Amino acid sequence: MKELVSEIRSIIESARTNAVRSVDFCRVQMYWQIGRRIVEEEQGGQTRAEYGKGLIKNLAKEIEPEYGSGFGQRQLERARQFYIEFPIASTLRTQFNWSQYKLLIGIADKDKREYYELEAANNCWTARQMQRQINSMLYERMLLSNDKEAVLAMARKERMPEKPQEIVKDPMVLEFLGLEKRTHYYESDLETELINHLQDFILELGNGFTFVARQKRILLEDDEFFIDLVFYNRLARRFVIFELKTGEVTHQDLGQLQMYVNYYDRTEKLPEENPTIGILLCTAKNDTLVKMTLPADNSTIVASKYQLYLPTEQQLIAEVEKVKKEWEESR
């Protein structure tokens, strides 16, 4: 009886979800059709630009009083832009709602728009999650350590992430923790909040992450150690270890993380899996110290800064310029 009840509940919930999704997509199709008709009417006018501007204004005057604010001038302009950016009806994604498409058509850069469209589809983002990723400048942060072609290729699933820099952003944005800006936090406090907001943290981490362990105990003869967080990335097919530091990175921190990575490679990793990656999350880092501490051919350890607030465009531009300068100096 319990199994039958469970199955029927599943059927009901699935039907409800599909019904809501169907209604949402019907709304998307409606705005697409409205946009198409507006564009077709504009193209038939003698002076298209002036005619189009007046057309939408007059159309809103007629439609909005009858159907509400969803058909005001601003929404009709969005519908027009929607059709221009997505002119082929068969390419519209049935899992997206109108709120998600409004976010996408607000992105002028076509590569950037494609990236968010693909990532939203691949990871089943809600409109709120998509908004968060755009606000946190996910695309720009990925470009700090990867070229545009690599970023888009991974989003298109044309290649799998291989390097640590292709998996973890630098900086990482943890604004969802809601922590106040203080000069110091205990690492245990940060760890606890990350676990309490695990779904949001995995969203920030990106594709393919699953949680494995917190404070993973390892014993080396008579000495015991505790790894802060352990994840597994099913796309990269490797363990990813996180150590949390609420201060600046030291060479001792990097050495300890390397030991944890070695342990997982030698005792936990299966032969068919890829080498473990270690991520040192910190509030500040000396990039020269990191490079000198790690081997020249390092491909498993990365230090990534985290911040408890959304980055501004100016901050990100400064970070981009800094990275460019480092690349030029390293040539």
pLDDT at 180 exceeding the cut of 90: no
The amino acid sitting at 112 is K
Structural tokens at position 29: 């199709």
Q: Identify the CA nearest to 28 among candidates 74, 78, 69.
A: 78
Name the pLDDT band for 52 (thresholds 50, 70, 90).
low
Report the predicted TM-score, pTM, of the whole model to 2 decimal places.
Answer: 0.77
Any residues with CB less than 8 A from the CB of 260 and at least 6 apart, and which? 218, 225, 227, 241, 243, 278
- Give the span between the Cα atoms of 150 and 156, in whole angstroms: 10
Tokens at residue 9, please? 């509940």
For the chain, give the mean pLDDT. 83
Asked whether residue 2 carries a pLDDT value surpassing 80, the answer given is no
pLDDT of residue 82: 95
pLDDT computed for residue 13 by the predictor: 77
For residue 288, which amino acid is it?
T
Q: Which residues pair with 280 in a beta bridge?
A: 243, 303
Mean pLDDT of the 208-235 span: 91
Residue range 62-67: average pLDDT? 85
| H or E element at residue 141 | helix 138-145
Distances (CA, A) of 17 to 13, 22, 117: 6, 9, 21
d(CA 193, CA 209): 18
234 Cβ contact list (under 8 Å, min separation 6): 208, 210
Q: Are strands 238-244 and 223-233 parallel, antiparallel or unpaired?
A: antiparallel
Q: Is 243 strand, coil or helix?
A: strand
Per-residue model confidence (pLDDT) at position 182: 56
Say if residues 244 and 231 touch (Cβ distance below 8 Å).
no
Query: Using CA atoms, how far apart are residues 203 and 131, in angstroms rounded to an integer?
Result: 12
Residue scoring higher pLDDT (325 or 298)? 298
Cα-based distances in Å from 170 to 102, 165, 330: 28, 8, 19
- From its phi and psi, is residue 137 left (phi > 0), alpha (psi between -120 and 50) or beta? left
Q: Considering only CA atoms, which of 79, 94, 119, 145 is closest in space to residue 320?
A: 145
pLDDT classification of 19: cutoffs 50, 70, 90: low
Residue 314: predicted pLDDT? 73
pLDDT of residue 12: 65
Average confidence (pLDDT) over 52-66: 82
* C-alpha 77, offset from chain centre: 28
| DSSP for residue 176 | G
* Of residues 272, 160, 259, 254, the one with CA closest to residue 206: 160
Rounded to whole angstroms, how far apart are CA atoms 249 and 77?
50
Instruction: Report residue 315 as tokens.
Output: 């901050």
* Partners of 303 in the β-ladder: 280
| pLDDT value for 127 | 93
Query: Which among 154, 19, 124, 37 is positioned nearest to 89, based on CA atoms?
Result: 37
